[in-house]
Amino acid sequence: MAVAAELALPKPPLQSQCLKLFGNPSEKGWGAKNLEYVSPPFAMKMGDITISRVKINKLAAPALRAAFNDIWEACGKNQAAVARVHADRFSGDWVVRPIRGGSTPSMHSFALAIDLDAGSNPLGALETFFMPGSLVVKCFEQRGFIWGGRWKGRRDAMHFQYVRVG
């Protein structure tokens, strides 16, 4: 796969470090201080809504940009090819909410996670469109993202986060 000039990407933090590193996402002004917008080089949609940019934590922005570019390159810069690997199906970025059934903030609260194609990758499902070896999974993992499809307890194949579990 053609990968553009290697970037020195920051190491993803640990989940347990996030509150200390980024502060409480529920606080006023958190977004303005911590978020960056990343525009994928391909067209992306959430249902019928065009998503031209993704809100992401500044720390994760270079890695997300790189993963998007890798997908675009691997698809021969062809939108139909991007659609075939479901990279064009956006399902969420920054949402301030706790992890279901827990008091720890979701990594979406810190804008360190992106969900793709929730429709074909439902939470908890074992057979999903994104599987180990899928192009989208490969492109995100090679840029340091953790893929929720590898989680044993509560598999989350739509979920890619730039933060390590721990």
Q: Which is nearer to Zn ion, 77 or 150 (CB)?
A: 150
Q: Which of 70, 88, 93, 115 binds Zn ion (CB under 5 A)?
A: 115
Q: Which of 130, 159, 162, 163 binds Zn ion (CB under 5 A)?
A: 159
Within 130-149, which residues bind Zn ion (CB under 5 A)?
none
Subset of 84-113 contacting Zn ion (CB under 5 A): 113
- b or e along 52-83 (b: 16 or more beta carbons within 10 Å of the residue's beta carbon)? eebbbbebbbbbbbbbbbbbbebbeeeeebbe
Kindly give, in sequence order, each residue whose CB lies less than 8 Å from that of residue 136, ignoring residues fewer than 6 positions away.
71, 85, 86, 87, 116, 130
Q: How far is the CB of 158 from Zn ion (least distance, A)?
A: 6
How many Cα atoms within 13 Å fall on the side-chain side of residue 21? 16
- Judging by DSSP bridges, how do beta strands 44-46 and 49-51 pair with one another? antiparallel
Binding-site size, Zn ion (CB under 5 A): 3
Select the span of 21-29, 35-43, 77-85, 158-166 touching Zn ion (CB under 5 A).
158-166
Q: Decide whether 113 or 136 has the Cβ nearer to Zn ion.
A: 113
Pairing of strands 90-92, 146-147: unpaired
Q: Which is nearer to Zn ion, 77 or 97 (CB)?
A: 97
For Zn ion, the binding residues (CB under 5 A) are 113, 115, 159
